[in-house]
C-alpha cells in the first residue's frame, strides 16, 4: 500500500469528482532550496493583487497560491506524498462558507503515522530526537526505529487504559523523549493532545483542564529551573482540587514519569507510574487509525497576553501540510538537518517544529530543557557544537539573553555547522539582529525573523530562504507566505492603508493550517476572528498592528490594541522598544501608552540595563535622546524607569497590558501565563516612580482615573 504514491509525483489528475468539480493536476517537483518554480496553475487573475519586491521565483509561487488556491494546495499535497501519506485522496481541496471552512475534504491521513510509521523504511537507524536536560544531567537520543517501537507501546497502553479516539490527553511535562513519544502515540490513535507549559501555576493549569476536560494527564514528578525544584506532580494534584468536581472526576488517569528515579507516592486511585503504563502496552492494539483530514489533532490554548486563553483546535490534514511547506519555503528544511529549537512543547512552536514537522521531513531534533545560561553561561552554544546543529530556532527574548551574555561565550565553540538562525515570537529588534548576524556569525549565517500565531501553526510572513533569499531588512518579518493574502486597514473606518501607514492586519482568506474553531465554542471563534467588528467582518482578524513598505516588506508594531496614539501619530510599541535597545546600555525594553491630557497618550518606558551599567538620571536623558535620534521628535515620553525584569509570558512575549493597567490602577486580570510575578512588583515600583516624577514636574496628577 505504501508504494501507491511514488516519490516522483508527475501525474496529471483530471477526473471529475462526485460533486461535479474537477481536480487540478500537478507536474512540478520540489527540487530543494532554490528551485525553479514554473507557474502551471490556472490563469485566473485576481483584481488588485498586490505586488512586492521578492525574488521572481518566490513571487510567482505566491501569486499562483492566491490566483488558484485549490489548484496550488492540491499540488503541494501531491508533491509532499513522499513524506506525507494519504490513505485516501481528498474529494475537494477546500469547502468554505463565511467563517466555516475545511481543507482536503474526505481525505484520510494521520500525522502520527506520517512522522513515525511512514519514515521507518528510510530512517530506521537515524536519530529522531535528542534530549538534553543539563540540570538533570540527561543526554540521550532515540532513533526513528526505536521511536516506532516506543510509540507502538504507548499506543497500546493508552488503549488498554480505555483512552479512545477523540478523548483528550493533557500534558504538563517539559521537553523529553517520553513526552514526544506520548504525543505521537496520541496522534497515531486519534486521541487529542493538549500541552500546558510545565511551570504554569496550578490555577492556570486548572483553567486549561476545565477548558479541555481530559481523560488522562501525563506529567513528571519535578523539573529543575536554575537549581530550584518545581514539583509538577504536586501542581497537577493541586490543579485538580481547584477544578469543578465533575471536571476533576473525568480525569481517570494521571501518568507520572519519575525523573528522580524514585517511585512517586500515589495520591489517588488515578495515579499510574510510567513504568506501569509501559508494562500495559506490551500487549493489545498497537495500530494507527485512518482519520479524515479535518479531525482534531491537538488543542493549544493561547498564551493569554490579552485575555483568558482560547482553546485553539488544529486538525491532522491542514496542520501537516502547512507546517511542512512553510518549513520548506522559509527554513529550507531537509532530512540532513539537525534542528535546535529552544521552544517548549507547551507552545505552538514546540508542537510544530519540535514534535511534528521536523519528523515529517525526516530531520533530527534537539529537545532542550533549561535556560541559555545555566548551569553554564554558554549552554546553547555548547549544544550547537555538540550535536552539529544546522538550524537554530529561538525567540527574540532568547537573542537578547545571548546578547546579554556576550560574544565571548559564543567564541568558545565551533559553530560552523549552523546554516541559518530563525527567530519569531515578537519583533526581532534590529540591534539584536546586528549583534547575532555580524558580531557572532561575522555575516556568514543568515539571521531572519518571521511571524505566525498559535492559530496559524507555521509562518504567515517570512523570508523565503528555502526558495531564494531576498535582502533582509532588520525589524521586518519579510513577505507574505504562499496562501497568505494580507490586508491592512485603518482601525477607525476600515479603509485600506497606504504604504508605510499603520493599521490592523487582516487575512482575506483561510489557509490550510489555520484553526477552524475553538474547542466547544464555535460562536466565540466566529466573533473573535471573523466577525470582530463591522469594519473587519468576513476577514480573519490577526489582532496585530502592522504596515507594509513600498517593496512589500511587512513591519509589525505590536498588538493592535497596544498602539500608542501621540497627538494623532500612531506609534507601535515595538518600534520604540527597538529604538531603546539601540542604546549601548540597554539590554531589554518595554513600552506602553499612558493617558496625557494634551496629546491623548504618551510613552512610558521600562528598561533593563546590560551588566556594567548603572541607573542614573543622566542615562535616562541619553536613552530618550537616542530614541528621538532614531525616530524623531514625535516620540514623547512620560518617562523612563529602570527595572531588573519585565513582565513577560513564559513564551517570552512582553505583557504590555500589565504595565498599562498598573499605570491606570486597574485590575491586572489573568496573570496565569506570566513568567515571574516578581516582574510585576518591579514594574509597579517603576510606575510609582514615574507617577511621582510626573506629578512633581507637571504640578498635578499625571495618571488617568
Asked if the structure places residue 215 within a domain, the reply is no
Rg (CA), the chain: 25
pLDDT of residue 148: 98
Residue 591 lies in a domain: yes
User: How far, in Å, CA of 561 to CA of 651, rounded?
Assistant: 20
Mean pLDDT of the chain: 87
* CA pseudo-torsion sign 314, 318, 319, 323: negative
pLDDT digits over 293-312, tens only? 999 999 999 865 445 789 99
- Structural domain that includes position 573: 563-698
Any domain includes 64? yes
CA–CA gap between residue 230 and residue 236 (Å, rounded):
12
> pLDDT for 455-491, tens place per residue?
999 999 999 999 999 999 999 999 999 999 999 999 8
Q: Which of 189-193, 331-335, 562-566 has the lowest mean pLDDT?
A: 562-566
pLDDT tops 90 at residue 185? yes
Lowest mean pLDDT among 377-381, 450-454, 569-573: 569-573
Lowest mean pLDDT among 273-277, 373-377, 567-571: 567-571
Residue 240: inside a domain: no
The answer to whether position 194 is within a domain reads no
- Looking at the whole model, is its pTM more than 0.85? no
User: Residues of the chain with pLDDT > 70: what percent?
Assistant: 87
- Tens digit of pLDDT for each residue in 412-468? 999 999 999 999 988 898 999 999 999 999 999 999 999 999 999 999 999 999 999
The highest-confidence range among 95-99, 285-289, 490-494, 554-558, by mean pLDDT, is 285-289
One-character DSSP codes across 179-218: HHHHHHHHHHHT-EEEE--TT--HHHHHHHHHHH--SEEE
Domain boundary among the residues 91, 119, 147 is at 91
| Pairing state between β 586-596 and 600-609 | antiparallel
Q: What's the pLDDT band for 631 if we cut at 50, 70, 90?
A: confident
CA 603 and chain centroid, separation:
28
Domain holding 632: CATH number?
3.30.300.30
User: Taking 60 as the threshold, does the pLDDT of residue 279 lie above it?
Assistant: yes
Classify residue 423: in a domain, yes or no. Answer: no
Does residue 651 belong to any structural domain of this protein? yes
Average pLDDT over residues 512-528: 96
CA dihedral 477, 480, 481, 482 (to 10 degrees): -170
- For residue 643, being part of any structural domain is answered with yes
Please confirm whether the linkage preceding 701 is cis (ω < 30° from 0). Answer: no
Q: Which of 91, 118, 144 is the last residue of a domain?
A: 91
Q: Is the pLDDT of residue 238 over 50?
A: yes
Stretch 571-597: mean pLDDT: 88
62, 91, 120 - which closes a domain: 91
The structural domain count of the chain equals: 2
Q: How confident is the model at residue 668 (pLDDT cuts 50, 70, 90)?
A: low
Amino acid at each position: 500500500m505504501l508504494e501507491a504514491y511514488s516519490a516522483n509525483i508527475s501525474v496529471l489528475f483530471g477526473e471529475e469528482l462526485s460533486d461535479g468539480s474537477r481536480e487540478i493536476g500537478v507536474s512540478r517537483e520540489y527540487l530543494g532550496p532554490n528551485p525553479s518554480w514554473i507557474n502551471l496553475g490556472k490563469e485566473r487573475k485576481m483584481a488588485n493583487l498586490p505586488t512586492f519586491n521578492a525574488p521572481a521565483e518566490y513571487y510567482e509561487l505566491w501569486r499562483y497560491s492566491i490566483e488558484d488556491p485549490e489548484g496550488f494546495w492540491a499540488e503541494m499535497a501531491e508533491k509532499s506524498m513522499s513524506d506525507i501519506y494519504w490513505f485516501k485522496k481528498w474529494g475537494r481541496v477546500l469547502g468554505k462558507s463565511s467563517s466555516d471552512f475545511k481543507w482536503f475534504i474526505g481525505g484520510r491521513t494521520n500525522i502520527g503515522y506520517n512522522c513515525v510509521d511512514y519514515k521507518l523504511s528510510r530512517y530506521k537507524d537515524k536519530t529522531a530526537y535528542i534530549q538534553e536536560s543539563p540540570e538533570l544531567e540527561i543526554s540521550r537520543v532515540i532513533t526513528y526505529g526505536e521511536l516506532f517501537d516506543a510509540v507502538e507501546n504507548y499506543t497500546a497502553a493508552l488503549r488498554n487504559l480505555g483512552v479512545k479516539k477523540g478523548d483528550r490527553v493533557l500534558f504538563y511535562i517539559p521537553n523529553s523523549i517520553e513526552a514526544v513519544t506520548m504525543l505521537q502515540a496520541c496522534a497515531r490513535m486519534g486521541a487529542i493532545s493538549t500541552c500546558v507549559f510545565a511551570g504554569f501555576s496550578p490555577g492556570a493549569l486548572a483553567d486549561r483542564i476545565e477548558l479541555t476536560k481530559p481523560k488522562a494527564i501525563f506529567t513528571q514528578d519535578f523539573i529543575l529551573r536554575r537549581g530550584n525544584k518545581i514539583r509538577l506532580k504536586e501542581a497537577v494534584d493541586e490543579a485538580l482540587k481547584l477544578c469543578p468536581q465533575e471536571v476533576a472526576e473525568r480525569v481517570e488517569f494521571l501518568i507520572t514519569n519519575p525523573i528522580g528515579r524514585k517511585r512517586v507516592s500515589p495520591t489517588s486511585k488515578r495515579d499510574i507510574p510510567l513504568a506501569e503504563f509501559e508494562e500495559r502496552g506490551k500487549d493489545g492494539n498497537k495500530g494507527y487509525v485512518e482519520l479524515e483530514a479535518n479531525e482534531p489533532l491537538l488543542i493549544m490554548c493561547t498564551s493569554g497576553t490579552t485575555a483568558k486563553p482560547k482553546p485553539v483546535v488544529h486538525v491532522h490534514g491542514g496542520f501537516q501540510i502547512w507546517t511542512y511547506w512553510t518549513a520548506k519555503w522559509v527554513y529550507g528544511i531537509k532530512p540532513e538537518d539537525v534542528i535546535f529549537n529552544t521552544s517548549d512543547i507547551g507552545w505552538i512552536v514546540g508542537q510544530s517544529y519540535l514534535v511534528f514537522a521536523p519528523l515529517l521531513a525526516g530531520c533530527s531534533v534537539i529537545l532542550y530543557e533549561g535556560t541559555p545560561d545555566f548551569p553554564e553561561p554558554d549552554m546553547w552554544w555548547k549544544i550547537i557544537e555538540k550535536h552539529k546543529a544546522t538550524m537554530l530556532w529561538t525567540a527574540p527574548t532568547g537573542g537578547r539573553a545571548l546578547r546579554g551574555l556576550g560574544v565571548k561565550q559564543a567564541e568558545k565553540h565551533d559553530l560552523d555547522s549552523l546554516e541559518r538562525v530563525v527567530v519569531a515570537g515578537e519583533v526581532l529588534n534590529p540591534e539584536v539582529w546586528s549583534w547575532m548576524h555580524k558580531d557572532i556569525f561575522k555575516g556568514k549565517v543568515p539571521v531572519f525573523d518571521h511571524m505566525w500565531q498559535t492559530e496559524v501553526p507555521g509562518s504567515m510572513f517570512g523570508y523565503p530562504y528555502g526558495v531564494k533569499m531576498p535582502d533582509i531588512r532588520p525589524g521586518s518579518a519579510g513577505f507574505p507566505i504562499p496562501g497568505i493574502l494580507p490586508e491592512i486597514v485603518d482601525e477607525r473606518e476600515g479603509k485600506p492603508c497606504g504604504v508605510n501607514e499603520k493599521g490592523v492586519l487582516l487575512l482575506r482568506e483561510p489557509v490550510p493550517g489555520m484553526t477552524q474553531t475553538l474547542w466547544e465554542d464555535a460562536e466565540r471563534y466566529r466573533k473573535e476572528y471573523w466577525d470582530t467588528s463591522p469594519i473587519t467582518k468576513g476577514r480573519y482578524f490577526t489582532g496585530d498592528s502592522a504596515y507594509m513598505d513600498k517593496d512589500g516588506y511587512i513591519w509589525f508594531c505590536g498588538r493592535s490594541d497596544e498602539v500608542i496614539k501621540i497627538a494623532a501619530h500612531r506609534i507601535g510599541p515595538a518600534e520604540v522598544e527597538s529604538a531603546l535597545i539601540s542604546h549601548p546600555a540597554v539590554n531589554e525594553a518595554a513600552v506602553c501608552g499612558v493617558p496625557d491630557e494634551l496629546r491623548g497618550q504618551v510613552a512610558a518606558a521600562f528598561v533593563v540595563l546590560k551588566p556594567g551599567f548603572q541607573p542614573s538620571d543622566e542615562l535616562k536623558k541619553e536613552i530618550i535622546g537616542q530614541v528621538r535620534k532614531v525616530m524623531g521628535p514625535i516620540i514623547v515620553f512620560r518617562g523612563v524607569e529602570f527595572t531588573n525584569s519585565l513582565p513577560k509570558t513564559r513564551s517570552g512575549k512582553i505583557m504590555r497590558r500589565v504595565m498599562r493597567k498598573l499605570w491606570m490602577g486597574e485590575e491586572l486580570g489573568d496573570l496565569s501565563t506570566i513568567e515571574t510575578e516578581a516582574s510585576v512588583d518591579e514594574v509597579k515600583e517603576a510606575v510609582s516612580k514615574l507617577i511621582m516624577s510626573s506629578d512633581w514636574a507637571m504640578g498635578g496628577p499625571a495618571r488617568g482615573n
